[in-house]
Every structure is written in structure tokens, then in C-alpha cells.
Amino acid sequence: MTEQPALDAAQLLAALDRHQVDCVLIGGMAVQAYGHVRTTVDLDVIAAWTPENLRRLAGALDELGARLRGVDADLLGIDLSDPAQLYDGGNFLMRTRHGDLDVFAVDQTAGAPTSYEALRARAVSVEVLGARILIAHPEDLIRMKTAASSFRDRPEAKRRQDLDDIAVLERLRAELDKAAAAKPTRGARDTGESP
């Protein structure tokens, strides 16, 4: 698979969902899922880095026909259908028959929370393209985008996209904070008093 197939995010998400892969959507597709119109050429997720979850991920990758992409990827000799090899790795940039899929470990993702559990706890659960997925909270996406945009070797077009995404996510975060503040507290609802 040398030519990049068009991204079919619905197929990628459906495979991850079918195999019950515990992961959180990040990157451009996450920004799109929050309603921002922008393009993206891949699907990025942070996965729970546990032996059981990586077994499920290996099944999804096998179904998708995933292969590592990048310079000399074939020389690495990594078998993506082997959960033990996945567990020993950290970040995998892959090409599938449905487009590019990037799977990251939280501890190897710049700007991400310190644990997968923290990322997952703040994530928003939604149905996207027919699959139930978790999307990183706007605050976490802002931190990851800010970290990525500061890399010295980041292409200028990507840096501009990061900054545009951050502006959109900051507005969204403000809207979410305002909506959360307007919700009555549980105690107030129970007693009929306002917060």
C-alpha cells in the first residue's frame, strides 16, 4: 500500500467500535466532530495501553489491513497483528484500505494529560458516523494542538491549522463552560431552589 487511499473515517471508526477498542479521538477529526469545518487526511486516536485493549486493537488493524507508513516502515519488522509488539511500541502511523490511521499512547503524546484515565474521564461520548466514540475534551485538544504547533520541524501550513483549531476550540470551551455553569446543581433540582 504505497498510495494513500481517501480517508473513510466511518469505516475506521466502525472497525475500532466493532472490536471494542478503548480509545479517544484527537486531531483534526475530533475538531470536525465538534462542528468545525476543516479538512483532515487521517484519523488520530489515543488508545488505552493495556494488553487486553491492544489485543482488540490488533484485531481491528488486521481487519483494516493496516501497514506502517513512513520512511523505511517495512524495515522495522513490526507485526501489527501481534498485541505484544503493539504493547512494546508507542505510536503507530499506519495506512489502511480506508485511509491513514494514527494510534498514540498518551504518555508519548505532547500536551496530553498525564494518564489515559484522565483523558478518558474528560472525553465526550458521541455517535459519529454511526459509531459510538469518545472525543477528547476541547481543553485537552487545545493543550495537544498547542504542543504540536511549537515543534520546530512542524510545517507552516500545519502550524496555521493548529492555531485555527485552537481558536475554534477556545470558543467551544467557553460555550461548554457557560452551559455547565447554567445547569442547576443536583441539590437545587431536588429542592426546587435555584443555584
pLDDT of residue 186: 59
| CA 111/CA 141 separation, integer angstroms | 8
189, pLDDT greater than 50 = no
* Average pLDDT of the segment spanning 15-39: 94
pLDDT band at 109 (very low <50, low <70, confident <90, very high): very high
| CA 114/CA 104 separation, integer angstroms | 13
For the chain, the domains span: 9-137
pLDDT of residue 194: 42
Per-residue pLDDT reduced to its tens digit, 131-183: 789 999 999 999 999 999 999 999 999 999 999 999 999 999 888 888 888 87
pLDDT of residue 147: 96
pLDDT of residue 185: 62
pLDDT of residue 74: 77
pLDDT of residue 190: 44
pLDDT of residue 54: 98
- In the three-class reduction of DSSP (H, G, I as helix; E, B as strand; rest coil), residue 17 is classed as helix
* Whole-prediction pTM: 0.88
20, pLDDT greater than 60 = yes
Per-residue pLDDT reduced to its tens digit, 43-68: 999 999 999 999 999 999 999 999 99
| CA 158/CA 164 separation, integer angstroms | 10
* Average pLDDT of the segment spanning 63-89: 90
CATH 3.30.1280.10 holds for 9-137? no
- The DSSP code sequence of 131-194 is EEEEE--HHHHHHHHHHHHT-TT--HHHHHHHHHHHHHHHHHHHHHHHHHHHSPPHHHHHHT--
